[in-house]
């Protein structure tokens, strides 16, 4: 078993899974019908990425764990997703800012992985990067529309940006897992800023100063919101083990 590869792919899969779970929970709660369809589509794309990545992580591990066992039978501390994606959707503004930050990150990382040596990972990334380009443009459009919108929408967008910004640092925090396989996202922060900063500027939103930078998600140390998310995500499977459609 290539432990480095397993840990690396699990992080990618867990990011997509947790982001998908958060987004899927918004179905029927969007401010308009078209947006509801959009959020459900994005959630579905992310879930597809999670399924492919977790399946691959399970194959690399070679212990017989498939996508379902990895998603539904691990406990909170075993998930290595970033803290950003588990942050709650307290407001539509938060949903869009999170999507902006996360999809810009995924867009850059998947592009690098699609040119990498791991053929399976490259194939998953090559498919996913096209989907993520749509997510990113969707988030950009809403960020500009709401940021440069009414006084109320601007205030709420700025609040979301300020609250979520600290969690973006973790995406680019290098460690032995990131350095041990694939492409280390630490090198992507400048390019990520190159995407996000102009969008915030166009949206007349202030780019926060870099200060507090919480980490821990990659080591299974999550924020207080995460236990509830995992509990809800796993409840059906734990009540009816092995259930399928």
Partner 1 sequence: MNATARLRAAVATVRDPEIRVLTVEELGIVRDVDAEGSRPTVTVTPTYVGCPAMDLIRSDIAAAARDAGFPDVEVRTVLSPAWTTDWLSDEARAKLVGAGITPPACRAEGRVLLPLMVLSPPKPRCPRCGAADTDEVSRFGSTACKSLWRCNSCREPFEQMKEH
145 scored as a contact of partner 1 (CB under 8 A): no
Judged by CB, which is closer to partner 1: 90, or 137? 137
Contacts with 15 (C-beta within 8 Å, 6 or more apart), sequence order = 81, 82, 85, 102, 106
Of positions 61, 67, 86, 131, contacts partner 1 by CB under 8 A: 131
Of positions 11, 22, 65, 107, contacts partner 1 by CB under 8 A: 107
51 scored as a contact of partner 1 (CB under 8 A): yes
Kindly indicate which of the ranges 32-40, 80-88, 205-213, 216-224 contains the residues binding partner 1, using the contact rule CB under 8 A: 32-40
Helix (H) or strand (E) holding 173: none
d(CA 200, CA 97): 10
d(CA 50, CA 14): 7
Which residue has tokens 């630490």?
186
24 scored as a contact of partner 1 (CB under 8 A): no
Judged by CB, which is closer to partner 1: 130, or 179? 130
Token pair listed for 9:
């792919």
Kindly indicate which of the ranges 68-76, 77-85, 122-130, 211-219 contains the residues binding partner 1, using the contact rule CB under 8 A: 122-130
177 backbone dihedrals φ, ψ, rounded to 5° = -70, -50
Which of the 8 DSSP states describes residue 203?
Answer: T
Binding residues (CB under 8 A) for partner 1: these are 34, 37-38, 40-42, 44-49, 51-52, 107, 111, 119-120, 122-124, 126-131, 133-134, 136-138, 140-141, 195, 245
């Amino acid at each position: 078993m290539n432990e480095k590869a397993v840990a690396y792919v699990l992080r990618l899969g867990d990011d997509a899974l947790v982001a998908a779970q958060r987004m899927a929970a918004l179905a029927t709660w969007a401010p308009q019908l078209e947006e509801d369809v959009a959020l459900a589509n994005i959630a579905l794309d992310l879930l597809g990425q999670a399924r492919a990545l977790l399946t691959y992580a399970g194959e690399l591990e070679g212990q017989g764990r498939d996508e379902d066992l990895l998603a539904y039978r691990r406990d909170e501390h075993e998930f290595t997703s970033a803290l950003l994606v588990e942050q709650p959707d307290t407001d539509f503004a938060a949903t869009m800012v999170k999507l902006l930050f996360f999809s810009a990150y995924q867009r850059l990382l998947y592009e690098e992985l699609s040119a990498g040596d791991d053929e399976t990972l490259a194939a998953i990334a090559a498919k996913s990067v096209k989907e993520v380009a749509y997510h990113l443009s969707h988030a950009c459009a809403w960020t500009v529309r709401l940021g440069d919108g009414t006084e109320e929408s601007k205030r709420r967008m700025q609040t979301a940006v300020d609250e979520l910004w600290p969690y973006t640092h973790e995406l680019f925090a290098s460690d032995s897992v990131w350095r041990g396989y694939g492409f280390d996202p630490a090198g992507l922060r400048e390019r990520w800023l190159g995407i996000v900063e102009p969008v915030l500027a166009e949206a007349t939103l202030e780019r926060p100063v870099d200060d507090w930078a919480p980490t821990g998600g990659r080591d299974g140390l999550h924020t207080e919101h995460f236990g509830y998310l995992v509990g809800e995500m796993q409840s059906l499977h734990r009540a009816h083990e092995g259930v399928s459609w």
